[in-house]
Chains A and B, each alone.
Chain A
């Protein structure tokens, strides 16, 4: 009983510290998921592109925007997956795909963020290589890969370029 008082005090201090540390981690995770839509991990070095701000999640109509530099961007439709919506933006220069950006991707759960952060660069590389939406699924990110390829295909269809 005499040792109980310091034990309780120590435990309370430990718990307070733990909840504080957890708060810091959770804030980081929340920041990551809210800022990542604005700065997707896939953004390449197409600095000439005037990228459009993150579009409304409800937006389903693909849009085309001419850019000053001769590049143009085409947004794909939002494709919903179990883990969250996926929307890509295509950057075209003279009929070639020069970049793909993920405007939206699953990032609600930390696990989804983690998977997206790994899968999206791979998917982008595949598209740039294949120059089409006909890409391999990234293992561990099946739903995201599928939605990515569908949003991309729709954007390509809208862009009018022939492949």
Chain B
């Protein structure tokens, strides 16, 4: 997969903005052409416009997760996850406004009570009962994805519930066409709107079903070895043929589906913890959840399917002569692979932040690789300080640790709070934005 450069990124951004603008203008035009009149017209109009916006946000949210190579490579999977989250939040908020304004607006027009209006809508309008169920499912998924709720349930439960978004979107599509003021009487908008949904549906089927199925046939892969790295990490070696066709590079990650009895239906992202070769991949994950703790039980010979590689945290993005790698927690994994990727003689500093000494991953390898470059890894231990100015990665702390940071390319990887704090410190110390490369693990 091609590595994006700033120019292609800019032109892709322009193309996306153009497509977005065309869709927005078309939607506004159909909306304005079908403005309601009379009692409750204002609310009804708001309800119609938020209906459009809600649908578009849902498409964007799902599209962000379609793993379209262009999208993942240009945006980076961390950014696409963040956009997914924003788009999903917007979908649910707009859904609420859409439902409330239309019910109140229609009730005003019909001079009916709210309860009566709701029951009329749900029981007599085409596709409206389905749309109601779809909306309830969407709200349910949103509630489950609120950080606190999500952390209290098993990852598998959350993921399983998330799949219900597809039936929910199917159920809510019907009422847009059969009841939407802009669609009922006009064919062209209906066709365009349906086509737009079909494009996203096809992308999903293609990239999330057919491509992985094809990869399974053409690139069979098995687990060769599973190694525990202390209590905190597990390293898996995968063997296969023609793995170079994935074009993975040190610093990137890959999505892997282990074909075990319980786990075949979910794929997870893993960073390469060593530079990938055409026959072997090495991935390392922190043991911090249901899924990662079960990784330890993987048996050699287990089949696996991969898709990717993703991410722009690669050596070829480097602009300056020397390098600074800053990892937080399991964010050190891709940096470990990167540490090998720069040519010998490149000045590479490594800063590794973890909560406790037991949480340090790949420590002996890091020490050895740094020693080979005549350097030592700087370990920063302890919890994040609530006051970012007092933290070990605050601007003054970082300046003291790496005084020549502005002359280096910084590769930062970890949880997004950590990455944001480090980027803020680096920028405060005068590191130009184009010399900072990031990957966020949780986005």
Is B130 on the interface with A (CB-CB < 8 A)?
yes
Stretch at the interface among B34-42, B60-68, B194-202, B356-364: B34-42
Residues of B within 8 A of A135 (CB): none
Say whether A140 contacts B109, CB under 8 Å: yes
Say whether A111 contacts B38, CB under 8 Å: no
Is B184 on the interface with A (CB-CB < 8 A)?
yes
Say whether A142 contacts B37, CB under 8 Å: yes
The CA-CA distance from A21 to B156 in the complex, in Å, is 31
Q: Please report A residues at the B interface, Cβ cutoff 8 Å.
A: 1, 4, 7, 11, 15, 18-19, 21-22, 25-26, 28-29, 82-84, 108-112, 114-115, 118, 138-143
5 tightest A-B CB contacts, nearest first: A140-B38, A140-B109, A109-B184, A142-B37, A139-B38
Is B125 on the interface with A (CB-CB < 8 A)?
yes
Say whether A141 contacts B124, CB under 8 Å: no
The CA-CA distance from A37 to B161 in the complex, in Å, is 46
Say whether B125 contacts A140, CB under 8 Å: no
Q: Nearest-CB distance from A107 to chain B (Å)?
A: 11
- Knowing A22-B130, A142-B38 are in contact, say whether A110-B156 is a contact too (CB < 8 A): no
Given contacts A15-B167, A109-B179, could you give 11 more A-B pairs where the C-beta distance is less than 8 Å?
A22-B129, A25-B125, A25-B129, A29-B124, A82-B34, A110-B178, A110-B179, A111-B106, A112-B184, A115-B110, A141-B38
The CA-CA distance from A11 to B168 in the complex, in Å, is 11
- Knowing A18-B133, A139-B109, A140-B40 are in contact, say whether A110-B171 is a contact too (CB < 8 A): no
Is B126 on the interface with A (CB-CB < 8 A)?
yes
Residues of A within 8 A of B109 (CB): 115, 139-140
Contact of B37 among A21, A114, A140 (CB under 8 A): A140
Q: Nearest-CB distance from B301 to chain A (Å)?
A: 21
The CA-CA distance from A142 to B40 in the complex, in Å, is 13
Name the residue of chain A whose CB is nearest to the CB of B171. A18
Residues of B within 8 A of A83 (CB): 185
Q: Nearest-CB distance from A159 to chain B (Å)?
A: 30
- Knowing A25-B124, A28-B124, A139-B38 are in contact, say whether A1-B110 is a contact too (CB < 8 A): no
The CA-CA distance from A19 to B134 in the complex, in Å, is 12
Interface positions of B from 35 to 67, Cβ below 8 Å from A: 37-41
Interface positions of B from 135 to 176, Cβ below 8 Å from A: 156, 160, 164, 167, 171, 174
Say whether A29 contacts B126, CB under 8 Å: yes
Residues of B within 8 A of A28 (CB): 124
Residues of A within 8 A of B106 (CB): 111
Residues of B within 8 A of A111 (CB): 106, 125, 179, 181, 184
Q: List 23 A-B contacts (CB under 8 A).
A: A1-B261, A7-B160, A11-B167, A18-B133, A18-B171, A25-B125, A26-B126, A29-B124, A83-B185, A108-B185, A109-B178, A110-B126, A111-B106, A111-B181, A111-B184, A114-B124, A115-B109, A118-B110, A139-B39, A140-B38, A140-B110, A142-B38, A143-B37
Is B120 on the interface with A (CB-CB < 8 A)?
yes
Residues of A within 8 A of B411 (CB): none
The CA-CA distance from A8 to B41 in the complex, in Å, is 42
The CA-CA distance from A112 to B126 in the complex, in Å, is 12
Say whether A82 contacts B160, CB under 8 Å: no
- Knowing A26-B126, A118-B110 are in contact, say whether A11-B40 is a contact too (CB < 8 A): no
Is B127 on the interface with A (CB-CB < 8 A)?
yes
